[in-house]
């Protein structure tokens, strides 16, 4: 397929390369010349504007920083520019309201479109092992699924437009709360005289067990390899976790959902990210 790819940063670069590996004809655009050069190296054709990349595309994939940029790019360069009948896939993490608005505009103009945010970081984007949470009509999902499968290990239909974003922020709000809880438990256990490895051995097979403990332990040297074993470098940056928590709080307010712990987690990551935004989100244990 001829696929336009807009936004070739940390995530989009690897995703576009995986579409090339799956024999798609990838037409890339990014504002950054470095990102474009890397995409060319990976086998993409590069273009001087998003509009030019979309001109003959049968599908458009985007991986952009935020909702305002996604709205601008789709309104100005994609909707009405990509051929009628192209399927549009926005994989960025953005607010639910903007995702629904952009998809409605695309549908009015006759396109099928999905929101398809991802779980998994840069390594999963490079390795083609992302999980996609997809919102959109059955028809749009059916068309998007084979394209997403070339970039991920799981593609899940979450329901109507915007539900992919809803799933993503609910999941990441839970993850943030769970990580802070895991860090507090390890820190308190140590202060009470428990060895961290011993606490792990007990809690990982008891009712406190959770992903933040057994797959991503915030204590160095305990559990499987994770960013804590590398001074909290790499992994999922605290600034990105904060971005998702802010989106979650906006969505909670608009939906009238009670999220006391989500709000607390947002406040905690907000002060942590002021100085340590580049550190992995499990580095929050340093504040305890």
Position 76 contacts ligand NAD (CB under 6 A)? no
Known catalytic membership, residue 168: yes
Stretch in the footprint of ligand NAD (CB under 6 A) among 114-122, 158-166, 195-203, 275-283: 114-122
Q: Give 34 or 184: the residue with its C-beta nearer to ligand NAD.
A: 34
Give the one residue of 57, 73, 241, 252 binding ligand NAD; rule: CB under 6 A: 73
Q: How far is CA 3 from CA 71, 89, 92, 153, in A?
A: 19, 10, 16, 20
Give the one residue of 90, 121, 203, 242 binding ligand NAD; rule: CB under 6 A: 121
Cα 284 from Cα 272, distance rounded (Å): 7
Position 285 contacts ligand NAD (CB under 6 A)? no
Q: What number of helices (H) and strands (E) belong to the chain?
A: 12, 9
Q: Which residue is nearest to ligand NAD (CB)?
A: 9
> Six-digit token pair at 259?
């999220």
Cα 137 versus chain centre, distance: 21
Q: Which of 2, 168, 243, 266 is catalytic?
A: 168
Nearest approach, Cβ of residue 25 and ligand NAD (Å):
19
Is residue 26 within 8 Å of 5, Cβ to Cβ?
A: yes
In the chain, the N- to C-terminal Cα span, in Å, equals: 51
Q: How far is CA 192 from CA 145, 171, 188, 196, in A?
A: 50, 31, 6, 11
Residues 122-161 within binding reach of ligand NAD (CB under 6 A): 122
Position 283 contacts ligand NAD (CB under 6 A)? no
Binding mask 25-64 for ligand NAD (x = CB under 6 A): ----xxxx--x--------------x------------xx
Stretch in the footprint of ligand NAD (CB under 6 A) among 4-12, 153-161, 213-221, 260-268: 4-12
Residues 224-263 within binding reach of ligand NAD (CB under 6 A): 236, 240, 243
Is residue 16 within 8 Å of 8, Cβ to Cβ?
A: yes
């Amino acid at each position: 397929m001829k696929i336009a790819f807009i936004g070739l940063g940390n995530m989009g670069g690897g995703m576009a390369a995986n579409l090339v590996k799956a024999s798609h004809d990838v037409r890339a655009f990014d504002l950054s010349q470095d990102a474009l050069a890397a995409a060319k190296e990976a086998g993409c054709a590069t273009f001087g504007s998003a509009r030019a990349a979309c001109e003959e595309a049968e599908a458009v994939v985007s991986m952009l920083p935020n909702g305002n940029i996604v709205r601008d790019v789709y309104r100005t360069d994609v909707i009405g520019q990509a051929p009628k009948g192209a399927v549009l896939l926005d994989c960025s993490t953005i607010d639910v309201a903007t995702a629904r608005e952009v998809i409605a505009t695309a549908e009015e103009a006759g396109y099928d479109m999905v929101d398809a945010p991802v779980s998994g970081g840069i390594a999963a984007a490079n390795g083609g092992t992302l999980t996609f949470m997809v919102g959109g009509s059955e028809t749009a999902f059916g068309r998007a699924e084979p394209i997403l499968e070339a970039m991920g290990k799981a593609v899940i239909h979450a329901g109507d437009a915007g539900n992919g974003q809803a799933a993503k922020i609910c999941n990441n709000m839970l993850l943030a709360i769970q990580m802070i809880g895991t860090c507090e438990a390890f820190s308190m256990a140590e202060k009470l005289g428990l060895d961290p490895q011993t606490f792990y051995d007990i809690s990982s097979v008891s009712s406190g067990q959770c992903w933040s403990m057994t797959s991503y332990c915030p204590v160095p040297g305990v559990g499987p390899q994770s960013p804590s074993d590398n001074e909290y470098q790499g992994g999922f940056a605290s600034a990105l976790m904060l971005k998702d928590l802010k989106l979650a709080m906006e969505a909670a307010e608009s939906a009238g959902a009670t999220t006391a712990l989500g709000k607390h987690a947002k406040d905690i990551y907000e002060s942590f990210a002021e100085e340590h935004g580049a550190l992995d989100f499990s580095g929050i244990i340093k504040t305890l």
